[in-house]
Structure 1
Amino acid sequence: MSTFTPTEMMTVAAARALSNDDVCFVGIGAPSAACNLARLTHAPDITLIYESGTIGTAPTVLPLSIGDGELCDTALNTVSVPEMFRYWLQGGRITVGFLGGAQLDRFGNINTTVVGDYDNPKVRLPGGGGAPEIAISCGEIFITMKQSTRGFVEKLDFITSLGHGKGGSDRADHGVHTKGPTRLITDLA
């Protein structure tokens, strides 16, 4: 009998959520493993897009970063980062984006900026990068995060990436008309 790690199970669950018709904005790490697993199993025609500008990439090994040469070597096309964000992401051409974070609240809002007061934080985190744009521009968002009491909080110290705001119609009230977070994949569920 084989046993699988929680990380492996998260990867499989995320891969199963993807379809052959998806255009997926892929992050490094678990999202990349999940997207490539989907491509190698049930979704061979999925379009994988990495933030570095590679479109339709099909790596033979998992890339170590968004700048990994394997991505350019196997991409159908490579565009500039501004074109990636303006035409592809903000143009509504990406169906699924993967995000993670240091903190997540019950509305799917994500913090990757600071823990504690912004001006005097307990921990300063790496920041949003492209995540705020991904969170509002992709058709829907899948969040992958390991379960912990420090990560899943009642109220975020800082909202880096919009989920469903305060709930209800708050996302739409801010002029955001994509679905937002639709799946949360953790090591427990």
Structure 2
Amino acid sequence: MSDSDYADTDPEYTDTELMITRAALELRNDDTVLVGVGVPNLACNLAKQTHAPDLEMVYESGTVDSDPDALPLSIGDPVLATGARSIVPMYEGFGRYLQAGRIDVGFLGGAQIDKRGNINSTVIGDYDDPKVRLPGSGGACEIASNAKRTLVIAPHQARRFPEEVDFVTSPGYVGGREGREDLGLRGGPETVITDKAVMEFDESGEMYVETLHPGVTREEVQEATGWELRFADDVTETSTPDEDEIRLIREELDPDGIYTGGGD
């Protein structure tokens, strides 16, 4: 199946494509974004090709303002060196850029995220005797602690959204917004985008539903959440991808459907 055939077979968008386009809207033209691969990478490149041409992407591996000519499969993929303004050691990328406060946006995911935006990617269950031991922080804790704002993309499932995470790998609003400030942390989680809804954080640092995806009900979102979820007074419908965005994703950004699940 060719790229054009793939685009023609399904003119509608998928859940992943909706998350990509909605995440892209969170990015501003002058943002510097610390990004990995996968869906966040697609969101950044979509933003760069639509409303944010001056978006600057810094990859964890140390490439600054890359313009890869192919889809990177890992943060160490050599294509990330294409058109890069500079290539620095990972240590310098985290120190000179992230810890120095030069990163506007960081993308995060994890096995669990709770009502205050704390993320767990360390263990499921008790730390000393876990049901599952996960990969750990990597650079996630540094990103959550130092980026001016963080965006989270995750499937919406009850096991992923408990009231409290089993282990705080990456801090959100901890004991509330004041608790985060007391720890001397920058920024904090701003938006959580799932395959059901878009959620933001109130003045106390608790997550609430801002928009529902087309066809998704409040009951469905609540059933997939481990605490009594609050909804905005004026919950609206999440904006959907337009034809040009779908074309860019399917024909240019991820024509083989490596991260979107389409393609051959």
Matched, 1:46 2:55: yes
Q: Which aligned pairs between 1:10-89 and structure 2 lie closer than 5 A? A: 10-89=19-98
Paired with 2:177 and 2:43, the residues of 1 have a C-alpha distance of 30
Q: 1:8 aligns with which of 6, 10, 17?
A: 17
Paired with 1:60 and 1:38, the residues of 2 have a C-alpha distance of 16
Q: Which residue of 1 aligns with 2:190?
A: 182
Indicate the SS of the match to 1:161.
coil
Paired with 1:93 and 1:79, the residues of 2 have a C-alpha distance of 15
Matched, 1:137 2:146: yes
Q: Which aligned pairs between 1:88-107 and structure 2 lie closer than 5 A? A: 88-107=97-116
TM-score (norm 1): 0.97
- 1:66, distance to aligned residue in structure 2 (A): 0.3
Paired with 1:27 and 1:104, the residues of 2 have a C-alpha distance of 19
* Mapped contact 1:102–1:151 kept (Cα < 8 A): yes
Residue deviations 1:108-130 (CA, integer Å, cap 9, x gap): 00000000011111111111000
TM-score (norm 2): 0.70
Where does structure 1 lack aligned partners over 5 or more consecutive residues? none
* Mapped contact 1:27–1:99 kept (Cα < 8 A): no
Structure with bigger gyration radius: 2
Paired residue total? 188
Paired with 2:69 and 2:23, the residues of 1 have a C-alpha distance of 19
Q: Which runs of 4+ in 1 moved over 2 A?
A: none
- 1:60, distance to aligned residue in structure 2 (A): 2.3
Where does structure 2 lack aligned partners over 5 or more consecutive residues? 1-9, 198-264
- 1:6, distance to aligned residue in structure 2 (A): 0.5
- 1:73, distance to aligned residue in structure 2 (A): 2.0
- 1:168, distance to aligned residue in structure 2 (A): 3.6
* Mapped contact 2:69–2:82 kept (Cα < 8 A): no
Q: Which aligned pairs between 1:122-161 and structure 2 lie closer than 5 A? A: 122-161=131-170
Superposed CA RMSD = 1.0
Indicate the SS of the match to 1:115.
strand
